[in-house]
Chains A and B, each alone.
Chain A
Amino acid sequence: MSKTNKINYSFKSKFIRQEIFKTALKAKKGHIPPAYSWVENAVVLFYTKIFNFFKKKDIFILSKGHGCLTLYVVLADLGLISKKSLYSFGGDGSLLPGHPDTKINKIENCSGSLGHGLGVACGKSLSLKMRKSSNHVIVLLGDGECQEGSIWEACIFAAHNKLNNLIAIIDRNKLSATNFTEKIGALEPLDKKFKSFGWNTFVINGHNYNDIYKTFIKAKKSKKPVCIISNTIKGKGIKFMENKKEWHHQIPNKKQILTAMKELKIDKLYE
């Protein structure tokens, strides 16, 4: 990646975080921290040419539905849903609920209940392979979601059926809804677990564009299904939210809003 690109990506990440904050604050609801942890992944996924989503080529599945604010902002930024829809997020009759459904343009699956996305992604991968398509299916999983048994059923299926067009990114922010995953149901060593199931595994810094970019390129050439464990910080971008178990879907108070606005460089919120 060139230096200019890097700056652009940082600019895009900043913009996405600002929009997520403003959208959630307007609705007075939404999961800000789990949306923030995958922003850099989203920038490389949707603003580079590695993959080609939205034109029925590569397919993106958001399995951790509570991270949807990032996707909504990206869709609005790319003109795939209207800005008006974005600003109506979480309101009565809004197109955009707290977890996405397939009535939204370009959304491939209904998410919100965890443990479904990888299985659905396997179905789409298998279909592409049967069609001898060279396109890929990328699924974003939450790490807490990996406590679901259905994830491991899909894991066995993908390896057994050699779905090398399937890339699972695990947003490894180490936090589930109420506590750290390792204090609820330890997942580590997560990379070794996927490897032992027959997947190619990469562990990356999920906030480093270079790391993400290079790994996506490698993942596309894999002969096996790929699991990218993307180490991230839940709430990345707002210091008082970062890596705090209290911040899963809480909305900040007045004082916290001012602090966050300063940090995110937001002048004005949506009315």
Chain B
Amino acid sequence: MNNKETFDFRDKIFSELYQVFKKDKNCILLTNDMGAIGLDILKRKFKKRVINCGISEQNIISLAGGLASEKRHVFIYGIISHLIFRGLEQIKIDLCLDALPVTIIGVGAGLSYGVDGPTHHGIEDIGVLQCLPNMNIFNPSDYVSAIASLKYAYNKKITSLIRLDKEKLPSLYKNQKKFYPLKVFGQSKQLAIITTGITTRTGLDLIKPLKEMGIPTMLIDVIKLSPFPVEKIRKIIKNTKSIVTIDENMKNSSIERFIYSCLNNAENCFVKNFNLKDKFIFGSASRKWVWNRYNLSKEKILDYIALNKKKLNEK
């Protein structure tokens, strides 16, 4: 399941899109002058249906709305932060109001572009988009769940954002036919760790040392963040003593916003949220550096749990 070979999310997604484009002549891809190896291959084969619209995010979203309203499925590829924030009103009006089949494939989830500065960070977009009815947000943790998200969004003809990490990462899942909005690792009534995207890897790395500390742990990887699977999570974590969420997003864009709705008896449950708080991150900020600073690293989280082991067990 978890081998060491790493994969580029983008190339895997474009390779899947190649198959989709081959079957469906109504598929179109628009980009704001972003490149990727897989995209070049797609462009070579489907020249007329892969369009570089130039750096014009507002127009790209409206354009996608116009195309989708004429029974096309439109994919938009670009950096998350630029597409979502520059095109936000267009997303609301030209896509979400009519729930049009447009899939935004956004690269740069979380701090993928950490060193490129706050203009490139994808850490606030989820919170903003979660407010929009008809918007579906996928935050896959590996290429397999990314492809499953893409297929789901395409087959269901929904308005969606699929957030891709820029890092090359090993796969976590086996190829799957069905889409799962969340995946569960292990079982435990003592501690449930809830993660999404890149932090699922941190969560998985914590299971073994926590077991050695005498804390059996369950991990929930939330792939579909909007609509948030509240009921599903509520059932899974029923009677669990402690919950830890780990999320590489700002507080208002993180799992923390929803976790308390998932609890049946909040007063009997110990909850600790690890995320990026609500401050912009200035300067060059690599993932490793930020994770240490904001206590998101495996080591910092382990330290916290070790210090608070008593509290975790008390509840």
Contact = CB atoms under 8 A, between A and B. Distances in A.
Given A122-B66, A123-B64, 17 more contacts: A110-B93, A110-B94, A110-B98, A118-B62, A119-B59, A119-B62, A119-B90, A120-B63, A120-B65, A120-B94, A122-B59, A122-B63, A123-B67, A123-B69, A127-B66, A153-B58, A157-B63
The 7 lowest CB-CB distance pairs between A and B, nearest first, are A123-B66, A119-B62, A153-B59, A127-B70, A153-B56, A120-B66, A150-B58
A113 B89 CA distance: 9
A120 B69 contact: yes
Interface majority SS on A: helix, strand, loop or mixed? helix
- What size tier do the contact residues of chain B reach? 20 to 34
A157 B69 contact: no
Nearest to B74: A123
Contacts of A125: 66
Contacts of A161: 51
Interface in B35-77: 48-49, 51, 53-54, 56, 58-59, 61-72
A128 interface: yes
A77 interface: no
Contacts of B94: 109-110, 116, 119-120
Given A110-B98, A156-B54, A126 B66 contact: yes
B306 interface: no
B97 interface: yes
A196 interface: no
Contact of A121 (B66, B72, B90): B66
Contact of B63 (A102, A119, A130, A149): A119
Nearest to B51: A161
A116 B62 contact: yes
A157 B94 CA distance: 17
B53, B65, B66, B94 interface centre (most CB from chain A within 10 Å): B66
A121 B64 CA distance: 10
Contact of A126 (B54, B63, B89): B63
11 contacts: A110-B94, A119-B62, A120-B65, A120-B69, A120-B94, A123-B66, A123-B67, A124-B66, A127-B67, A130-B49, A154-B63
Contacts of B65: 109, 119-120, 123
Given A110-B97, A119-B90, A154 B67 contact: no
A119 B66 contact: yes
A58 interface: no
A206 interface: no
